[in-house]
Homo-oligomer: A and B are copies of this chain.
Amino acid sequence: MGCDIIEQARQAFEAGGGRSVALPSDLADCHVVVVLVVNAQQVESVLFGEQGLARHLTPGSLVIQCATVAPAFARELGERLGSLGLAMLDAPVSGGAAKARSGELSVMASGDAGAFEKAEPVLDAMAATVYRLGDSAGVGSSMKLVNQLLAGVHIATAAEAMALGIRLGLDPETVYEVITHSAGNSWMFENRVPHILKGDYTPLSAVDIFVKDLNLVHETGRDLALPTPVASSALQQFTAARGAGFGREDDAAVIKVYQRLSGIDLPAAANDPEGA
């Protein structure tokens, strides 16, 4: 059973052999529900909105919350669901659309033993790796936030480094070859710089996602009185990319901020000789 407010998504799901519904409350008969949406507002809407699911679920059912949310929100959510007799796994995922399709996500999960047991067949179908991080909500979301801090900064830094290399007259393909074999490498540099080299900013993961996630890092740091200056500088670059109109492009498009402010030439797309 799948639920999406977008009809096209429901049709694709049905074509793949699933049954679909348009309203969260229509999932009331499910005993395990995976909530995989963009942010805390959407989690709130799906579970506690006007057509929200939480009050319709049978007590004892399990909600697997997979969105990237503030650890404090995840903790409160666990308590609110608990007060309705519902179990929750705080289980943000990593791996993007490709790994979701192949059932090879990484899941950073926390919750009690009963929740993990009930979740097991579902997680087995979704994930290649499930990290069991603790017995209470919030731990999974904390780990995801740490990962997003690193991932977001590494993408902005990859863009900044490529911009500097191009400005210095280096061949972008050679920079990629050397850096991916050097101490400056990161998972994100290796994964995202090819988008820049191809001039292909088709969104696999959009700029707007890191505007959101680095704002979560910033707000969490603020609430804990822990300064995060490096993450904040990366956040400003993603915010600038969004402000310049690239919010829905691939997150590697953060390099266009550097292009606009320095006049460097970026590699052009094969089908777009004028440049992206």
Contact = CB atoms under 8 A, between A and B. Distances in A.
Interface in A171-230: 174-175, 177-179, 181-189, 191, 217, 220-221, 224-230
Interface stretch (A15-23, A50-58, A152-160): A152-160
B178 A131 contact: yes
Name, among A95, A156, A177, A227, the residue most crowded by chain B CB atoms within 10 Å (CB to CB).
Answer: A227
B224 A167 contact: yes
Interface stretch (A32-40, A77-85, A138-146): A138-146
Contact of A157 (B108, B153, B221, B264): B153
Given A108-B178, A142-B170, A233-B233, A191 B184 contact: no
Contacts of A149: 157, 160-161, 164, 184
Contacts of A162: 146
A99 B231 CA distance: 31
Contacts of A230: 153, 156-157, 160, 230, 233-234, 237
Contacts of A181: 106, 129
Interface residues of A, number: 68
A243 interface: no
Contacts of A131: 174, 177-178
A102 interface: no
B106 A154 contact: no
A241 to B, nearest CB: 13
Given A106-B182, A147-B178, A149-B157, 12 more contacts: A143-B170, A146-B165, A146-B179, A147-B183, A164-B228, A167-B224, A167-B226, A168-B220, A185-B187, A186-B186, A229-B237, A230-B237
11 contacts: A95-B183, A106-B182, A143-B175, A145-B168, A147-B179, A151-B183, A157-B231, A160-B228, A184-B187, A229-B236, A230-B233
